[in-house]
Structure 1
Amino acid sequence: MTAEQIEKMLEEMEIPFKYHHFTQKEMQDVSLPILVWIVPGTDNFFADGQTYHKIKELDIELYTDEKDWALEEKLEGILDKYGIPWQQTASEWLETEKMWESLYEMEV
């Protein structure tokens, strides 16, 4: 899955999103909820001494003012629609940031 395909998929959430982070200046003009997505690495498949199939690790972080079950279900439905197996690996209040984070991890 290319960066363009990932962003096209995330557009269906109808909330602001960025790769890696929003700057402090951008956050002054953007209100929650937001999405951040990153590709922290790869988990490629090798055969015959070469990369046979490229697999990107994809993390999608959903940030909200409070736990938003409906928005999480919307994201999960979009991932399911695109046939992406996912795992929610964190769902916690970030005290220092005063926001809720729901982290989804997958491979594409």
Structure 2
Amino acid sequence: MTLVELKQLLDQTGYPVTYSHFSSAPSVPYICYLFIDSENFFADNTVFVEGMNIDIELYTSKKDLAAEKKVKDILIANGITFEQNEVYINEEKLFKNTFEVELR
């Protein structure tokens, strides 16, 4: 799956979606996604399968289980496994739920 295909999936949430960051943040909830590093399978000096570790960040003003479920349901429906973590960004007064995924 490419980053373009991932964006198309995330657009299905109905929330604003962008790579890395918005120049000015829209109203919450919104989603940013970002390439973290590669996860390639290789042998004999050849890359057989390219992979990417991607963070999908869902920003909300409160704990929003419905918004989290939208993201989870799209990932699960498309066979994308994920790990999830959450932090509260006090300076921004926002929750950030990060879904760590690996794309191949």
Does TM-score exceed 0.5, indicating one fold? yes
Asked if 1:105 is matched to 2:100, the reply is yes
Pairwise CA distance, 1:16: 0.3
Structure 2 match to 1:17: 17
Asked if 1:85 is matched to 2:78, the reply is no
Quick one: distance in 2 between partners of 1:97 and 1:65? 9
Q: For residue 91 of structure 2, what is the amino acid of its counterpart?
A: T
Q: TM-score, normalised by structure 2?
A: 0.94
* 1:58-93 deviation digits (Å, cap 9, x = unpaired): 1100000101011111110100011001010x2121
Where 1:105 maps in the other structure, the secondary structure is strand
Structure 1 match to 2:52: 56
In structure 2, stretches of 5+ residues that fail to align are none
Count of residues in correspondence between the two structures: 103
Asked if 1:75 is matched to 2:71, the reply is yes
Q: For residue 33 of structure 1, what is the amino acid of its counterpart?
A: P
In structure 1, stretches of 5+ residues that fail to align are none
Give structure 1 regions of 4+ aligned residues with deviation exceeding 4 angstroms: none
Quick one: distance in 2 between partners of 1:59 and 1:48? 30
Pairwise CA distance, 1:37: 0.2
RMSD: 0.9
Where 2:48 maps in the other structure, the secondary structure is strand
What is the percentage of aligned positions where both structures have the same residue?
Answer: 33
